[in-house]
Each structure stands twice: as structure tokens, then as C-alpha cells.
Amino acid sequence: GESRTRREFALKVIPIRHLVKNGVEHTVRHERDVMGSIKHPSIVRLYSAFKAHDHIYFVMDLVNGLDFYWCMQNYEISEKGAKFYMSQVVLMLEYLHSRTIAYRDIKPENLIIARDGYLRMIDFGLSKFLGPGERSYTFCGTPLYLAPEVWGSGGHNRAVDFWALGVFLYEVISGSLPWEAKTEVELRTMVVSGSVTFPSGGVHGQDFSPQLKQFVTGLLEKNPNKRLGMLKEGIQGVKRVAWLREIDWPSLESRALEPPFKPDADVNPQMQDLVKIDDEDRELVPPTSRDCPKYGEYFPDF
């Protein structure tokens, strides 16, 4: 007889109304095209993307685990743990950038610690193909992680990913962000012209070691051309920094290193917009929206 697999997928449901109202119809195409070109064990895989009525659907890997932001709030991540997680993000960026993809939204909410204790990158809503010498002029990203050049008008490239990595690393170690501002205007001023200060003994009572300070400072270089990761040696320069010297990159890549911990959670706190579907339930009945049928006219070729 016919053998059936029981695999669970995640279904991301995007109301077209939301895209149109925010003027971001292009992002869902970028997301589909970028994700469709990726095959990497640490990056959530897209199996299918389609439109039905006034919604767009992405069928993806279901990643059981814990959202990294939640882990930062609820667990103390040691400097050794931070090295383990950061070096994985470096490997993901190495893969994406080698395929001319700028991720443009590195932040703890977009990373999940899966059941094997290793990270998975999940949200590609802001990613874009940017070839060598190409720039994007879209103001996009999460304000607290935005590089100075995004706030300006000269365009940006994949260097923004290294800046966001620096902000993320600072946050993991100190429990706070390098710039805390009450308004976006204030934040912009701080990012564009303020300097980074390193607190002694952040919430986790951890000081920034000299090697760590050097690494964060290199990533938070205001000039994107001089930023760590964008110099002559490229991402190899990031992998060779003193702070990451003891990382066994091949073992990390093959997941042979023991992770700091393995979540046994079935539920990821950030998965409200993802619906679990079984392989057997492939005939999806999309929600219909009586109040705005006109949105079904968008994306005729999706």
C-alpha cells in the first residue's frame, strides 16, 4: 500500500491587506525568492509559497524550540555561550553573503534555539539580493539594530548585517542595547554620532573582556567600508578575531560541539502567526475575507 509520511510543517499566513496598507508588497516577493534559493541546515526551509484569495501562504520547516529573545530574558547566557551562538550567526551570514543575500534583520527574535541546541534563522521578510557594488535605499529593519548608513540617504549593502551582529552581541553580554533612546530621532542621533560605551558588570554581572570590546567595536564601526566583515579579508576577518579564536569552525558547522543547553520545549513563544499543519492535511482551506474581496486581485502571478 501507499506509505505516508507524517511530517509537520509551519504555515505562515500573510494577509495581502496588511502588505498593501503598509506599501510593502515587494517584501513578500523578496522573501519568497530569497528563501527559495537557500538550502542550509541552520536556516528555515521554504517548501512552497502560494496565494489563495486575499492571503499569501508560506509552507516552511516547523522549528520546535525557544525564541532567542525569550531565552535572553529567562536564562543567563555566559560569554562562552555567547561565542557558541554568535559564531553560528557568523556562519549563517557567510552562507547568505556568499549568495549575495543581505539579511537585514538580525535580532534575537529572528533566531530560535532548536531542540538540538543549535540556532535556526527564521524570518526573511526584509532580506534582499544585493550583488557586489549594489545598494538598497529602503529604510528597513528594526530601529534599535539599524546601522548609521540606513538612517542616512546614501544607501546600504550587506555591511548592515555586521552592524546588527555587533548590537546583538552587545545585548547578549550586557542585557541592554548600546543605545537606548526615547524617540526615533534621538536614536538616530546616537547611532550616527554617539560612541559606544561598555558597562562594567551588566545585568548578568559580566564585564566586556578586552577581546570582546575589540570585536564589538569592529562590528559597530560607523563607516561601513571600514567595518569588520567588509575589509579585504571579508567574513574571514570576523572568524579570525581574537574573541572567537578557540571556535572549532568545522565542528560547529557539523554540529559536533556540545551546545550550552537543549530546550525540550514543544512550543516556541514567538509562533503565534505560524500554524502547525500535518503532511496529511495538505488540502488547506484558506480563510476568505468577505469585507475586502479586492485584495484577491493583488499578486496575480504569485
Does 191 share its domain with 161? yes
- DSSP 8-state class, residue 281: G
Is it the case that residue 118 has pLDDT exceeding 60?
yes
In the chain, what percentage of residues exceed pLDDT 90? 64
Is it the case that residue 276 has pLDDT exceeding 50?
no
pLDDT for position 301: 74
pTM of the model as a whole: 0.85
Asked whether residue 261 is domain-assigned, the answer is no
Mean pLDDT calculated for residue range 54-80: 91
Does 108 share its domain with 125? yes
Contacts (Cβ under 8 Å, ≥6 apart) of 204:
76, 77, 78, 173, 174, 175
- DSSP 8-state class, residue 43: B
Residues annotated as catalytic are: 105
**CA–CA separation, 58 and 106 (whole Å):** 20
Does 107 share its domain with 22? no
Q: In what order do the strands lie in the sheet with 55-61?
A: 46-52, 55-61, 8-15, 274-278
Q: With bands split at pLDDT 50, 70 and 90, how would you rate the model's confidence at 295?
A: low
Is it the case that residue 283 has pLDDT exceeding 50?
no
The CATH number given to whatever domain includes residue 135 is 1.10.510.10
Does 150 share its domain with 218? yes
The helix (run of H) or strand (run of E) holding residue 213 is: helix 210-219
Mean pLDDT calculated for residue range 14-29: 89
Q: With bands split at pLDDT 50, 70 and 90, how would you rate the model's confidence at 116?
A: very high
The total of structural domains in the chain comes to 2
Asked whether residue 262 is domain-assigned, the answer is no
**CA contacts within 13 A on the Cβ side of 167:** 23
Does 114 share its domain with 154? yes
Please say whether the beta carbons of 61 and 44 come within 8 A.
yes
- DSSP 8-state class, residue 223: S
Structural domain span for residue 288: 8-63+268-297
- What integer best gives the mean pLDDT of the chain? 87
Cα angle, residue 245 at apex, residues 241 and 250 outer, rounded to 5°:
110
Please say whether the beta carbons of 17 and 67 come within 8 A.
no
The CATH number given to whatever domain includes residue 42 is 3.30.200.20
Does 139 share its domain with 284? no
Asked whether residue 260 is domain-assigned, the answer is no
Which residue type occupies 231? L
